[in-house]
Structure 1
Amino acid sequence: MKNPLISIITPAYKAENTIKRAVSSVIHQDFMDWEMIIISDDYQNYSQILKEDHIVDERLQFISTNKFGSGSSNARNKGLEVARGQYMATLDADDEFKPQKLSKMIPLVERYGAAISDIEIRDHDSDLLLEKFNKLPNYEFLSPKDLPWVSLHSSSIYLYDATKIPNLYYDTDFPRMQDFVFLMSFFNDIECIGFEHEPLHIYYKRKGSACNSADTHETFHKSRNKLLEKINNGQISIQNNLAKAECIKIINFISETDNIYDMEILKNPQTDWLEIFKTKIQDRDFLGYVNFLRNEV
């Protein structure tokens, strides 16, 4: 059987209520040469769940971590191990692709070796559009200096050519930021990442999800320390020196956010660390900052 051009990796953990939406968004792509690998991380039979909703497609593949809640990084690695495509993409089981996601990203991947797109952030319950985070000028590509500041969520919505970026897997030591480390590792093999300004990925925000839970502050803090430790010990998958330098800037940025959070939490116990982080990015002279970085020697 001919290998597909694109492999889409989808970890599934307690995803019975959302997997139909995610899979349907892939089936309705205007580009059809793909396989979707759904990795059960909770012993659920997602093939049967989809069949009950009359979703059956020979391009859907089902595997399992044979664990319960081993984490998205481990599940994605299992998917990468069996993927047959030249291009790799991820889609979380509670998000969705817009119909032209793949067809619009492919030319950028052909040109640069990898690409990401802007996203829409919608409310999980109401489907209300909450925000579009990207504020970059109309650049077609991103360097290591640009990438960390594009979006809090763009790190996991890539498409890349595995023949140009080979043998890359997720570091399972990070409670958070594993997507960021994975994406920054692209610069080991390519100079720039293509960027599509049209929102082609819908991220659904819901209370209690991994990206919005009350322990966000603690997990970012642990990830920051782990990232610094691995950089200092030479144990990080990121080998590009410029990308490493940007990681240090992110570490410092998280530390600054921690300091603000520690003060604000005394005034308001309901303070949201992630909202402070986002506001801190948005309040800076963002466009001027990015242009400065691009021109910096």
Structure 2
Amino acid sequence: MAKNIPAVSMIVPCYNAENFIQRGISSIIHQTCPDWELILVDDGSTDSTAAICQRATAEDERVHFVRQKNQGVSAARNRGLDMAKGQYVMFMDSDDYVNPDILAFTLKEAAKYDADIVMVGHNRVEKDGNIHSDSSHWSDTENSDKIKEDILLNRLPNFVWGKLYKKSLWDDIRLPVGQVMEDLYIMPEVFYRAGQVILRKEPYYYYSHENEHSIMSEAGTHYIRRKYDHFLAWKNHEKIADHYNNNGAAFFCAQKSMRSIIRALSLDAGVNALSEAEKIYGRTYIRECRVPLPFLTCVVRDVLLSNHTGLLHFMGKAQRMLIERQQKRRARR
């Protein structure tokens, strides 16, 4: 590598992560490959996260730190991409950590296969300390077309982390700010831009479930937003499938888009978590998209399009109550 140009820029968005961020920082500092820079982007934390990050910059010159007002994880990752100097980039979430060999291994695989993306497996770390492999059923492969289609159809997880990317893939791509499902939205764009892609199931990344919180907030508005952003993400997948003339994938993605927007709009009835423009956009998609759906989904679709306010509000309230009960049962378990 040229002088002052690290092999890898590791980008970590941080927000109120004081209980976990030091573990993640340490997992980078102790990499067996020393040729990296760590970019910590604090997204307006109100706890001691910033102080922990600043201390790391004083202890290792390869660690860089910047603060910004709270704009969300996508804006923080985008800021990291703007700062990155490495030939490759890798993302890590602030409550996660990585195997000390992740950089050495992925760089070696990238060089061996002249790969633009090296995707590795991950373990899931639970609150009770148990660690489970989520990638043990994967198959190691250098079949780029298969990997890309599996990302497009979400048969492989669309997490932005756990992957080594050639930085040039991100030259004019940034994560959508304000969306909850930003990973799902952007991953096919990045993968389909790549040439050679390889997959290794060995779990070099540790994904934390220790800090999991309910996806339900007051009145279920966060859940509604997630469903609407699912719709936007799958609609983008559909567009990419169309561009590459993959009719089977486009049909699958359209079905996912339809189910997500029908769910979002029906849950939103009587709550109005979505803007009027979003509701119009969603209803327009429902009217124009022609894919077969299960009978009950078709019933909900027809009620939405009829705009029967009383029935919509009753249906939305019933669905929100059902989801809230499901969430409470999961929390108790």
User: So what's the TM-score if we normalise by structure 1?
Assistant: 0.74
1:192-207 matches, within 5 Å, as 192-206=196-210
2:100 counterpart SS class: coil
Give the structure with the higher percent helix: 2
* CA distance in 1 between partners of 2:16 and 2:86 (Å): 27
Give the counterpart of 1:186 among 186, 190, 204. 190
2:59 counterpart SS class: coil
Q: Structure 1 residues 82, 248: CA separation in 2 closer, same or farther (over 3 Å shift)?
A: farther
User: So what's the TM-score if we normalise by structure 2?
Assistant: 0.66
* CA distance in 2 between partners of 1:88 and 1:127 (Å): 29
Tell which deviates more after alignment, 74-83 or 180-189: 180-189
**What is the aligned partner in structure 2 of residue 289 from structure 1?**
none
* CA distance in 1 between partners of 2:10 and 2:204 (Å): 15
**What is the aligned partner in structure 2 of residue 284 from structure 1?**
none
1:31 counterpart SS class: coil
**What is the aligned partner in structure 1 of residue 5 from structure 2?**
3
Give the number of equivalent residue pairs.
265
AA partner of residue 163 (structure 2): Y
AA partner of residue 36 (structure 2): W
**What is the aligned partner in structure 1 of residue 270 from structure 2?**
none
Q: Structure 1 residues 264, 164: CA separation in 2 closer, same or farther (over 3 Å shift)?
A: closer
**What is the aligned partner in structure 2 of residue 219 from structure 1?**
225
1:245-260 matches, within 5 Å, as 246=249, 249-250=252-253, 252-253=255-256
1:197 counterpart SS class: strand
**What is the aligned partner in structure 2 of residue 14 from structure 1?**
16
The answer to whether 1:57 aligns with 2:60 is yes
* CA distance in 1 between partners of 2:173 and 2:230 (Å): 21
- Contact kept, 8 Å, 2:115 with 2:196, in 1: the verdict is yes
**What is the aligned partner in structure 1 of residue 98 from structure 2?**
97
Unaligned residue ranges in structure 1 (runs of 5+): 276-297
Tell which deviates more after alignment, 31-40 or 132-141: 132-141
AA partner of residue 101 (structure 2): Q
**What is the aligned partner in structure 2 of residue 278 from structure 1?**
none
Indicate the RMSD between aligned Cα atoms, in angstroms: 3.7
- Contact kept, 8 Å, 2:90 with 2:162, in 1: the verdict is yes
- Contact kept, 8 Å, 2:16 with 2:49, in 1: the verdict is no
Cα shift at 1:253: 3.8
Q: Structure 1 residues 171, 265: CA separation in 2 closer, same or farther (over 3 Å shift)?
A: closer
AA partner of residue 184 (structure 2): F
List per-residue Cα deviations over 1:196-217 (Å, max 9, x = no partner): 11001000114544xx522574
**What is the aligned partner in structure 2 of residue 28 from structure 1?**
30
* CA distance in 1 between partners of 2:45 and 2:320 (Å): 39
2:60 counterpart SS class: coil
Give the counterpart of 2:139 among 137, 140, 143. 137
List per-residue Cα deviations over 1:164-184 (Å, max 9, x = no partner): 5533211225221x1123221
* CA distance in 1 between partners of 2:50 and 2:234 (Å): 40
Q: Structure 1 residues 29, 244: CA separation in 2 closer, same or farther (over 3 Å shift)?
A: farther
Cα shift at 1:24: 0.5
- Contact kept, 8 Å, 2:135 with 2:201, in 1: the verdict is no
AA partner of residue 113 (structure 1): D
* CA distance in 1 between partners of 2:20 and 2:58 (Å): 13
AA partner of residue 93 (structure 2): D
1:227 counterpart SS class: helix
* CA distance in 1 between partners of 2:168 and 2:57 (Å): 35
Q: Structure 1 residues 231, 22: CA separation in 2 closer, same or farther (over 3 Å shift)?
A: closer
List per-residue Cα deviations over 1:183-202 (Å, max 9, x = no partner): 21124432442111100100
Q: Percent identity?
A: 20
2:121 counterpart SS class: strand
